[in-house]
Amino acid sequence: MCGISGYIGKKEGLQIVLGNLRKLEYRGYDSAGVAFFNLGANAEIIKTVGKLDNLERALRGKRSLSATAAIGHTRWATHGAPNQVNAHPHSDCRGEIFLVHNGIIENYQDLKSELIGKKHRFRSQTDTEVLTHLVEEYGFEWALKKIVGAYAIALINKKEPQKLYIARLGSPLVVGVGEKEYYIASDPTALAGLVKKVIYLKDGQRGVLSLGGLEIGPARPKIEKLDIDPEQAQKGHFPHFMLKEIFEGPEVLRSALRGRLSADKGTVKLGGLEGVTDKLKNIKKLEILACGTSYYSGLAGELLFEELTNLPTEVMLASEYRYAKHPIKKGTAALLISQSGETADTLAALRKANHQKNLTLGIVNAVGSSIARETVAGVYNHAGPEIGVASTKAFLSQLGVLALMALYLSPKKTAAHREIMRELAILPEKIKMVLAQSGKIKQLAKKYLKYKNFLYLGRGYNYPTALEGALKIKEIAYVHAEGYAGGEMKHGPIALIDRDFPTVALATQNRVYEKMLSNLEEIKARSGPILAIATVGDKKIARLANDVFYVPKTVEVLEPILNIVPLQLFAYHFGTLCGYDVDKPRNLAKSVTVE
């Protein structure tokens, strides 16, 4: 959600800022802008609505003055329509201060009234503009003291063109440390290939960057290694990031397991949890908190933990948990799942759990992110940057890590546990077999393209998969789809079934297979078209389903890892056949950093 880019150094700052805004495009935006000092040493601010191409056109022929700072922003509208006036950067009355902001200023109405009383003139409907006038009135430090809310801020000032002011509270901001130059970005992915060292600003940290060095406080900044391969943030030969990331599935799962799973020895090692081993032995209940796709992987995690460890587990939407009057018993641990590690609701849920003195654990993909830092212990996904707005590879790796965690926490390893370990180790090859049939799924997508509504049905481990499959097609192809548990069909959705309402049925051969067949009988009896995901070698299913996509057999607890892949591909092909930009679906942001 919104992207911040900035640079101070001797290079062509404007081009760097623009280049990095491109890398942040995937976060979702509807307008963009930059502020910089031009070759005549005048401050310029250029903003456009729509894609970055528009901004680049408006900037054609313009260059920034060396050794001065430049800032840029991609805006995803929250307060005020997505138009040029509301786009960032914003400036003060005198046009001297330029500022970009991610987050929300909660008390902006009060501050605005106060500033209007002091004769400040406002141009936009945004909460952000209040910041520029506050800085004009009180200076940077005091302005920060007056605001309530969340922010990542970058500011330049005509009076000090060689300085770049930054601050963070609740919204991510990273400083890339180069040789006598600094980059800033709201996401470290943008800095890959530009710097090797970064500072992940902590909440409450603020400071100023200049050619002479950096001054950040009050907490001392910690310089860390940036571990992102720039190639991972490129599409390569794939037409879309989403397809590339789906095809990364086998490697993503391998990375999640590498150095952790030893199927031969029957052991699982999770370095990130070693510091809390004793505490983990005593936990009585696990609460999984997450949003969106991460929540669905949490639902599969609940089944895994309860089956493999006997640990009572409850999954809650982080957005509900944060406001719920939820009794927390002693010995409860909270497990936060997040790809970005910055989702506002998940972060708020984590802070609530930390406040309640629960042991907090994380499964996070983005290294150095807020959730990774604020959990007591955790396991990284190691899936690499996920650029497509629709989460795909992160889901696979979350499921892989959840399986590892459940195995790690199981007090003794039975033959069943050992079989799961062996199967996990060979699962990447089975995912490859599914991916090899992407063409077949495209044909199916073509056939089903005429339908406007879908039911996604699954039971047991296939239920979270059904929910996630339905979410994918909603996000990418703007098709209405409902994920449902098979057993619930008779309690309502069966009323919808007719020849125009197809069901995508997850009907692999597991302990609820026969029950799923009964559901399919009921759908068939009402002329509902059925597209089934079934196990290779299944002889019964073709009699019931209009179309069948076969997946290799695996152990039931790992089925979501395999069965989601055809549904991701189905959504991808459906969306591209409709001509949509599947990497940047409308109205969605990659990282939802506001409530």
Query: 3-state SS string over 483-508?
Result: EEEHHHHHHCHHHHCCCCCCEEEECC
Q: Closest approach of Cβ 376 to ligand M6R, in Å?
A: 18
CA contacts within 13 A on the Cβ side of 480:
6
Which of 163, 202, 244, 590 does the annotation list as catalytic? 590
- Closest CB to ligand M6R among residues 335, 497: 335
CA dihedral sign, ordered 159, 198, 370, 465: positive
Q: Closest approach of Cβ 561 to ligand M6R, in Å?
A: 16
Nearest Cα to 433, choosing from 585, 278, 565, 274? 565
CA 56, CA 61: separation in Å to the nearest integer? 10
Catalytic, 2? Answer yes
Q: Closest approach of Cβ 381 to ligand M6R, in Å?
A: 10
Catalytic, 447? Answer no
Nearest Cα to 290, choosing from 246, 334, 253, 323? 334
Binding site for ligand M6R (CB under 6 A): 291-294, 338-340, 343, 346, 389-391, 475, 588, 591-592
- Closest CB to ligand M6R among residues 205, 338: 338
- Closest CB to ligand M6R among residues 294, 309: 294
Grouping H, G, I as helix, E, B as strand and the rest as coil, residue 319 is helix
Q: Closest approach of Cβ 584 to ligand M6R, in Å?
A: 11
Q: Closest approach of Cβ 471 to ligand M6R, in Å?
A: 6
- Closest CB to ligand M6R among residues 332, 338: 338
Query: Are the C-beta atoms of 102 and 593 separated by less than 8 Å?
Result: yes
Q: Closest approach of Cβ 347 to ligand M6R, in Å?
A: 9
Query: Are the C-beta atoms of 7 and 67 separated by less than 8 Å?
Result: no
- Closest CB to ligand M6R among residues 425, 588: 588
Any idea which residue has 């530009």 for tokens? 194
Q: Residue number with the shortest CB distance to ligand M6R?
A: 292
Which of 2, 47, 202, 584 does the annotation list as catalytic? 2
- Closest CB to ligand M6R among residues 86, 397: 397
Nearest Cα to 172, choosing from 73, 222, 102, 75? 102
Grouping H, G, I as helix, E, B as strand and the rest as coil, residue 235 is coil
CB atoms within 10 A of CB 269: 13
* List of residues 6+ apart from 33 with CB closer than 8 A: 45, 46, 47, 48, 55, 72, 73, 75, 87, 88, 89, 100
Q: Closest approach of Cβ 293 to ligand M6R, in Å?
A: 3
| 211 alpha-carbon distance from chain centroid | 34
Q: H-helix or E-strand containing 318? A: helix 318-321
Measured at the CA of 506, the angle between CA 500 and CA 512, to 5 degrees, comes to: 125
- Closest CB to ligand M6R among residues 309, 392: 392
- Closest CB to ligand M6R among residues 132, 346: 346
Q: Closest approach of Cβ 233 to ligand M6R, in Å?
A: 16
Classify each residue of 175-210 as buried b or exposed e, where b means 16 or more C-beta atoms within 10 Å of its C-beta.
Answer: bbbbeebbbbbbbbbbbbebbeebbbbbeebbbbbb
Catalytic residues: 2, 590
